[in-house]
């Protein structure tokens, strides 16, 4: 192994993170100590790591696991003495193991001598100025509250000082005042003390928050970097071969600043990479990893990233977008107990569901990424956690050494342990411990030891650069690691299934390939693409040496026949159930309400069945779980029944959809059908509400919740009421009861309250805004979870929807054009996302025709909706929040992802557009940097405004037209998005972007109609669209109170609107490519509008 410079030893380090109290108890008091740690140094040496990182061990009230320090220059007596620490340091160095300790200098404990003196001192005095004090809690209002679960403010009132003190973390951790030179001088003394003892490196905890400045978010300030340069110069002048490790939980472009020009910190954690490794494995897609690495700026030569999978804190999700955070919560933190702050408090093994292959895969990924890997104690043996211990204690339990009492950690009585050992059946210390795994060469411990050994053999991993390859299979992440003469090809299969792919390795023709673990030789590289196969969650590290050195489901016949004895429901409890599940897998791909048509179905499982009506042809509600090869499982509700008479299948306006044919023992044929296509089933479903029953299923139950409105709009005693289907072939199924009630069945379901229920109830309870009220809620319960099956709401008489009204208005406008007037030439247009035009010319308003009045009403109703949704409330799920720079960064990241995804879609799909439009689209999509330049201003310019619960799927089809007014409906959000993602608060302009894009679609719906072709060429479509957008925006902004929710000025308004228009149009492009290619030209024109 090539030696790294002695001063840069941290580049070749493999760091093992330990809490002294968690590792080994030598004196039987139930708490780990330094003497115990010394006894276990041989184990650390056996493992092969070469650096230990110790969590705080200073005197402390331990309200935050020692990060609340009461004395910087001593050892907490529960861990031993300063002499014990010195001995530990000596023993570690004797084994060539270096030691990193914590330097928590942003704040102290409120019990620190400095704070006790400060709170008692007079304002402006020496000790008072050691901390940040104020007479008001209004200063630095733009700084986010980091521990929102625990702290309401960054200021806390101190009754002794009669003033507020500043704290970015817990209120018992007051922040030091780094504008005071005396504070900096004391910090330098602390640094000198520990480095003078022989400590090799210092981790700077919470380093972005040292300074405060009004009008900023008080993070990453220039003053912080100036102090770090000063600190680094001080250390370099007095000590050799030491380094600083920055804990800066920031996006890469901000975190990289902590290296300076190599004159600040020498290492920094790469926080954004960590969650994206988990995302990539769960999504089975390499994009999250490649994308964040590509966004990571280059760093100075003497610097290195620290990379990790888990640590003593939660799996932080601060540096992800809102959608990515929502995804991580759904995938890895389903139970609320697993979540804390903006993260997930779980260890690696439970996060991976105990799957050994996935644990190995993530470690292989970690150890092959650019940077120094950090391992968390116990993860090398697959330790479990206890999410019920509170705070982050669940991942800080005693190290499991053996199957003896207390996991071999201590001889104390179990009640004395600082935390209980893990006794969960799957991760019980009697089965998961060091002793057992050391005795088993096939254990995870031995596998990790081997991984560490191999990585230590190649500087290409620790010091080399990375170069990605892009095989057609996106489940494969492939890259080179290169350093000097070493060249390693890393191949990782992110999928749970075997994957094959080809790579172009022709740059290395005649080179040999050797697998680095078993030293197995592979065929020599030729000009031809190299073919690889990787097993599920498999990986290969392949050394490339110079020549002189050695799934999808098949289409089924629609009317496959199943045999029954009597009733079709026998299939639900017989061996025939598997056959029915296979048939359903073929059936649902043609259903409009099935969302994931482009994904290969692995299998379908009937997870539950609930009898709705018992008869010769019983009606059942089925909960079906659809499992995929490429994505997470989805769940759907289906009402299913049988029809014995074939002619009845076609009796209604919407012919029934046949699932399969049935044949009974007496050779009588019938048909299993979707019950939502039969009028008798509609009656049966409404009967559930009148009976107010709780219906039990195989595993769960169906519950009806009715309020006082229900009896006013549904009369079950009136047998003359007509019941008919309004929409069966849509994402949901709607059944109209007379002219008073509407039943909506949600096909796609999740264990969470539907947003439509939440928003409708909020609007009813908190505002005068007119929207359909809910009379009944139908819920499915399983254990302690529930999901919304459907609702009954009051029916709003109408003359159609705003979409139909708009299409008719545009058609009439074009048809009534005076053909004798020559068509106007195209003129330069300023759309609202470019520049607001507050007063429209009179001739322009007249040219918009009668529809202008409708647009004004639409804008007013939209403003009223947003004001109602922003109504002041104690309900945290609806309370309006500030739209911050962090939200702006999240939006930018979402747009970046969407740009890249859209470009990839155009490349992978045979997209057909007219030549001119195709040329423009190709030109723009090929220029990724140019695309991103359009939205980059949202990264730095503070936009302001509020974010609220929005409609979420706002378009003209979601608005009823009564003839003289508009009523907004359908608050469930975009059906193809997860429920939790739909509930994320957004700027109100997200809805505005949706309605503006809907105007554009309505316009081209008319223009695509050949009946208006003769006059359409006289109609300047884009000019009409531009002025309609301005009219809508102007009316919306003039509505009283709406500006309180908007960005701070017109420029910020246009900037945010443009970003959200990009977000919407890119989503439309993806949808049209996958579902309606003939309509792709519409969002593509919209994209060109935004770009040009």
Task: State mean pLDDT over 286-305.
Answer: 95
Q: Judge contact between 30 and 410, C-beta under 8 A.
A: yes
Q: Judge if 636 and 772 occupy the same domain.
A: yes
- Torsion of the alpha carbons at 834, 838, 842 and 848, rounded to the nearest 10: 60
Reply yes or no on whether 504 is catalytic: no
Q: Which of 738, 768, 794 is the last residue of a domain?
A: 794
**Does any domain span residue 788?**
yes
Say whether both 484 and 571 belong to one domain: no
516 shares its domain with 658:
no
CATH number of the domain residue 133 falls in: 3.90.400.10
Whether residue 211 is contained in a domain is answered as no
Most confident of 327-331, 443-447, 782-786: 443-447
Mean of pLDDT values over 616-624:
91
Statement to judge: residues 483 and 581 lie in one domain: no
Quote the number of domains for the chain: 3
Each residue of 810-843: b (16+ CB within 10 Å) or e? bbebbeebeeeeeeeeeeeeebbbeebbeebeee
The average pLDDT across 242-247 equals 96
pLDDT at 406 over 70: yes
The percentage of residues in the chain with a pLDDT greater than 70, rounded to a whole number, is 95
Catalytic residue among 68, 205, 643, 887: 205
Q: What is the mean pLDDT of residues 76-83?
A: 97
What is d(CA 298, CA 1086) in angstroms, rounded to the nearest whole number?
A: 35
Active-site residue identified among 68, 84, 102, 247: 247
Residue 630 near residue 531 (C-beta atoms within 8 A) = no
Averaged pLDDT, 80-96:
96
Q: Which of 545, 574, 608 is the last residue of a domain?
A: 545
In the block, which residue shows the tokens 């009668």?
A: 850
In a domain, 507, yes or no: yes
Determine the pLDDT at residue 205: 94
Same domain, 682 and 726: yes
The residues, ordered by sequence, that sit 6+ positions from 522 with a Cβ below 8 Å of its Cβ are 512, 513, 514, 515, 542
Please check whether residues 635 and 511 belong to one and the same domain. Answer: no
pLDDT recorded at residue 7: 81
Residues 510 and 591 reside in one and the same domain: no
Q: Do residues 503 and 599 both lie within one domain?
A: no
Residues 984, 973 contacting (CB under 8 angstroms): no
Domain for residue 156, yes or no? yes
CA atoms within 13 A on the CB side of 456: 15
Domain range for 672: 561-794
User: Do 565 and 539 share a structural domain?
Assistant: no
Residue where a domain stops, chosen among 728, 760, 794: 794
- Give the residue from 767, 838, 889 showing the smallest Cα distance to 1031: 838
Calpha distance 146→168 (Å, rounded):
7
Helix (H, G, I), strand (E, B) or coil at 635: strand
Q: Is residue 268 part of a domain?
A: no
From the CA atom positions of the chain, what is the Rg in Å? 32
Q: At what angle do helices 989-1007 and 851-869 cross, to 10 degrees?
A: 150
Same domain? 584 vs 700:
yes
Q: Report the alpha-carbon distance of residue 788 to residue 751 in Å, rounded.
A: 8
Q: State yes or no: pLDDT of 656 exceeds 80.
A: no
Told to judge if 247 belongs to the known catalytic residues of this protein, a careful annotator would answer yes
Query: Which one has a higher pLDDT value, 4 or 269?
Result: 269
CA 676 distance to own-chain centroid: 34
pTM, whole model, 2 decimals?
A: 0.84
Question: What are 530-545's pLDDT values in tens digits?
Answer: 999 999 999 999 999 9
pLDDT value of residue 1074: 78
On the question of pLDDT at 651 being above 60, the answer is: no
Same structural domain for residues 722 and 660? yes
235-252 mean pLDDT: 94
In a shared domain, residues 531 and 577: no
Per the model's pLDDT, the better-predicted residue between 567 and 846 turns out to be 567
Mean pLDDT (the chain) is 90
Does 37 score more than 60 pLDDT?
A: yes
Average pLDDT over residues 433-455: 95
| 958, part of any domain | no
User: Residue 794 — very low, low, confident or very high, per pLDDT cuts 50/70/90?
Assistant: very high
pLDDT at 223 over 90: yes
Question: Is 967 domain-assigned?
Answer: no
Residue 621 lies in a domain: yes
- List the CATH number of the domain containing 515: 2.60.40.1180
- What would the mean pLDDT of 202-214 be, rounded to a whole number? 96
Q: Is the pLDDT of residue 915 over 90?
A: no
């Amino acid at each position: 192994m090539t030696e790294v410079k002695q001063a840069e030893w941290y580049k070749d380090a493999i760091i093992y993170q330990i809490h002294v109290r968690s590792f080994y108890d030598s004196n039987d008091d139930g708490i780990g100590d330094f003497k115990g740690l010394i006894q276990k140094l041989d184990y650390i040496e056996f493992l092969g790591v070469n650096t230990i990182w110790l969590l705080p061990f200073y005197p402390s009230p331990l309200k935050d696991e020692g990060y609340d320090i009461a004395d910087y220059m001593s050892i907490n007596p529960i861990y031993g003495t300063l002499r014990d620490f010195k001995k530990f340091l000596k023993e570690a160095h004797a084994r060539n193991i270096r030691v990193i300790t914590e330097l928590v200098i942003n704040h102290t404990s409120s019990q620190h001598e400095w704070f006790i003196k400060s709170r008692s001192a007079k304002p402006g005095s020496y000790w008072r100025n050691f901390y940040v004090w104020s007479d008001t809690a209004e200063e630095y209002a733009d700084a986010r509250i980091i521990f929102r679960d625990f702290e309401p403010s960054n200021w806390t009132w101190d009754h002794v000082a009669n003033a507020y003190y500043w704290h970015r973390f817990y209120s018992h951790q007051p922040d030091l005042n780094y504008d005071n030179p005396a504070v900096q001088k004391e910090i330098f003394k602390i640094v000198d003390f520990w480095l003078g003892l022989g400590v090799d490196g210092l981790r700077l905890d919470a380093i972005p928050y040292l300074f405060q400045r009004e009008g900023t978010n008080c993070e990453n300030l220039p003053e912080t970097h100036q102090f770090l340069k000063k600190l680094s110069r001080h250390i370099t002048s007095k000590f050799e071969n030491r380094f600083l490790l920055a804990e800066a939980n920031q996006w890469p472009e901000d975190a990289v600043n902590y290296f300076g020009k190599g004159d600040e910190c020498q290492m920094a954690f790469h926080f954004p990479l960590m969650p994206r490794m988990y995302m990539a494995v769960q999504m089975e897609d390499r994009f999250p990893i490649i994308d964040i690495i590509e966004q990571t700026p280059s760093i100075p030569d003497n610097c290195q990233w620290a990379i990790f999978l888990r640590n003593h804190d939660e799996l932080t999700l601060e540096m992800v977008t809102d959608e990515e955070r929502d995804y991580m919560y759904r995938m890895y933190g389903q139970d609320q107990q697993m979540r804390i702050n903006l993260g997930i408090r779980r260890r690696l093994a439970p996060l991976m569901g105990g799957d050994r292959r996935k644990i190995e895969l993530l470690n292989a990924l970690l150890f092959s990424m650019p940077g120094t890997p950090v391992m968390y104690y116990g993860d090398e043996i697959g330790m479990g956690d206890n999410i019920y211990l509170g705070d982050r204690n669940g991942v800080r339990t005693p190290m499991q050494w053996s199957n003896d009492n207390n996991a071999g950690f201590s001889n104390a009585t179990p009640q004395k342990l600082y935390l209980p050992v893990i006794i969960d059946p799957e991760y019980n210390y009697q089965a998961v411990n060091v002793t057992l795994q050391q005795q088993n060469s096939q254990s995870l411990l031995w596998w990790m030891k081997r991984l560490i050994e191999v990585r230590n053999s190649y500087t290409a991993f620790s010091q080399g650069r990375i170069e990605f390859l892009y095989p057609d299979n996106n489940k494969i992440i492939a890259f080179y690691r290169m350093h000097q003469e070493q060249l390693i090809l890393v191949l990782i299969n992110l999928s749970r299934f075997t994957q094959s792919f080809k790579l172009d390795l022709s740059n290395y023709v005649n080179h040999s390939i050797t697998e680095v673990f078993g030293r197995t030789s592979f065929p020599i590289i030729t000009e031809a693409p190299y073919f690889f196969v990787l097993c599920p969650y498999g990986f290969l590290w392949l050394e490339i040496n110079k020549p002189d050195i050695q799934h999808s489901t098949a289409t089924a016949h629609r009317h496959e026949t199943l045999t029954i004895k009597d009733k079709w429901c026998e299939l639900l409890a017989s061996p025939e159930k598997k056959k029915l599940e296979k048939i359903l897998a073929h059936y649902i791909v043609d259903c409009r309400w099935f969302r994931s048509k482009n994904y290969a179905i692995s299998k379908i499982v009937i997870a539950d069945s609930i009898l709705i009506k018992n008869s010769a042809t019983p009606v059942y509600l089925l909960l079906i779980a659809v499992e995929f090869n490429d994505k997470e499982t989805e769940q759907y509700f289906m009402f299913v029944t049988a029809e014995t008479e074939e002619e009845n299948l076609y009796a209604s306006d919407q012919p029934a959809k046949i699932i399969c044919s049935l044949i009974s023992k007496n050779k009588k044929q019938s048909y299993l059908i979707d019950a939502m296509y039969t009028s008798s089933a509609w009656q049966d479903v409404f009967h559930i509400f009148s009976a107010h029953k709780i219906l039990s299923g195989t595993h769960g139950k169906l519950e009806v919740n009715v309020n006082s409105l229900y009896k006013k709009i549904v009369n079950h005693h009136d047998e003359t009421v007509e019941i008919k289907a309004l929409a069966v072939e849509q994402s949901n199924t709607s059944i109209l009861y007379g002219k008073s009630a509407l039943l909506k069945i949600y096909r796609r379901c999740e264990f969470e309250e539907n947003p439509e229920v939440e928003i409708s109830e909020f609007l009813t309870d908190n505002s005068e805004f007119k929207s359909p009220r809910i009379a009944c809620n139908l819920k499915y319960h399983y254990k302690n979870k529930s999901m919304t099956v459907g609702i009954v709401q009051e029916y709003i008489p109408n003359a159609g929807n705003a979409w139909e009204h708009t299409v008719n208005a545009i058609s009439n406008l074009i048809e009534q054009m005076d053909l004798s007037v020559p068509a106007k030439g195209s003129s330069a247009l300023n759309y609202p996302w470019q520049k607001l035009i507050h007063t429209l010319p009179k001739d322009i308003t007249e040219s918009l025709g009668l529809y202008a009045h409708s647009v004004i009403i639409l804008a007013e109703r939209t403003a009223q909706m947003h004001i109602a949704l922003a109504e002041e409330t104690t309900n945290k799920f609806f309370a309006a929040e500030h739209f911050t720079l962090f939200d702006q960064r999240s939006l930018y990241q979402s747009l970046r992802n969407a740009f890249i995804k859209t470009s990839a879609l155009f490349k992978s799909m045979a997209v057909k557009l007219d030549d001119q439009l195709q040329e423009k689209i190709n030109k723009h999509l090929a220029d990724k940097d140019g695309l991103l330049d359009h939205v980059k201003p949202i990264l730095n310019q503070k936009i302001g405004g509020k974010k609220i619960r929005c409609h979420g799927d706002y378009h003209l089809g979601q608005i009823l037209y009564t003839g003289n007014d508009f009523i907004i409906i359908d608050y469930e959000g975009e059906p193809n998005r997860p429920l939790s993602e739909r509930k994320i608060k957004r700027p109100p302009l997200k809805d505005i972007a949706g309605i503006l894009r809907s105007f554009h679609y309505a316009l081209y719906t008319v223009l695509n109609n050949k009946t208006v072709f003769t006059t359409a060429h006289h109609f300047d479509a884009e000019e009409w669209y531009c002025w309609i957008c301005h009219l809508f925006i102007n009316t919306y902004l003039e509505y009283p109170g709406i500006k309180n929710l908007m960005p701070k000025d017109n420029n910020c308004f246009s900037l945010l609107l443009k970003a959200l228009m990009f977000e919407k149009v890119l989503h439309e492009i993806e949808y049209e490519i996958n579902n309606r290619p003939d309509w792709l030209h519409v969002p593509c024109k919209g994209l060109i509008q935004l770009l040009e």
